[in-house]
Amino acid sequence: DAGVIQSPRHEVTEMGQEVTLRCKPISGHNSLFWYRQTMMRGLELLIYFNNNVPIDDSGMPEDRFSAKMPNASFSTLKIQPSEPRDSAVYFCASSFPGRNYEQYFGPGTRLTVT
Amino acid sequence: QQPVQSPQAVILREGEDAVINCSSSKALYSVHWYRQKHGEAPVFLMILLKGGEQKGHEKISASFNEKKQQSSLYLTASQLSYSGTYFCGSLNQAGTALIFGKGTTLSVSS
């Protein structure tokens, strides 16, 4: 199994630019999570999808952030416009049906906004 | 409500033991432990359900005291490979997703 796939692995962009992060969950997993990790705030849940439907987006910091899951094998997290405080590592994770506690994380995307 | 972990950091020599604590101000029905090695993604270690404990990984075990709303992770005879940041997690109010503590960084040296 290839595991959760994320792209790009690293992204450097200028403030004000649009950033799109991509995630392919493990086949057969029906839950998908987007997290942001920083030294100050730790690992924060941004949004959670179940069967491609957003269930909980209360962690999305503001309207500049949006996430989609058009099908079971693909999700995007978009930041528009990006700001320096968005710099972080963004993880995507997926889990089997009924096992949301056992999440499989992707390698993460390290985002730097200058 | 984010779980609170202590200590923030632990430094050990190989073979020494360590305990990492996780507590919550709200009722805990389950506790979830993950480990993240430097530069890598978090990896699931184990889940503890009400009143029970589940040993899931190497010489790492955990206990769960639901009355005290806390869990402890025990690392016995630590190895270099144990180094990393350990996170505990609890389910959010809806029971749908995990809220992680800020983590405890464990450094094991030879």
Tens digit of pLDDT per residue, chain A (114 long)? 689 999 999 999 999 999 999 999 999 999 999 999 998 888 999 999 999 999 989 889 889 999 999 999 999 999 999 999 999 999 999 998 877 678 999 999 999 999
Measure CB to CB from residue B44 to each of A33, A103, A107 and give the nearest one. A103
B30, pLDDT greater than 90: no
pLDDT per residue over B39-72, tens digit each?
899 999 988 877 666 555 668 888 888 888 889 9
Handedness of CA B60, B80, B10, A106 (dihedral sign): negative
Neighbours of B74 (CB within 10 A): 15
Looking at residue B55, its pLDDT comes to 54
- A·B CB contacts under 8 A: 53
Q: CA–CA separation, B83 vs B106, rounded Å?
A: 5
Contact (CB, 8 A) for A31 and A101? no
Residue B2 pLDDT more than 80? yes
Reported as a single tens digit per residue, the pLDDT across A98-113 is 776 789 999 999 999 9
Q: Does A56 contact B at CB distance below 8 Å?
A: yes
**Contacts B101 to A, Cβ<8 Å:** 42
Provide the pLDDT for residue A94. Answer: 95
CB-based contact (8 Å) between A14 and chain B?
Answer: no
Q: d(Cα A53, Cα B66) in Å, to the nearest integer?
A: 32
- pLDDT of B94 over the 80 cut: no
Asked if A91 lies within 8 A of B102 by C-beta distance, the reply is no
3-class SS at A84? helix
Angle at alpha carbon of residue A33, lines to A66 and B91, rounded to 5°: 120
Subunit contact A104:B44, Cβ cutoff 8 A: yes
Q: DSSP letters along A3-34, please?
A: --EEE-SEEEE-TT--EEEEEEPPTT--EEEE
> What are the structure tokens assigned to B88, written together?
């505990």
How far lies B61's CA from each of A31, A108, B74, B93, in Å? Answer: 27, 27, 5, 26
Collect all residues from B whose CB is shorter than 8 A from any CB in A. Answer: 2, 30, 32, 40-44, 47, 87, 89, 91-92, 94, 96-103
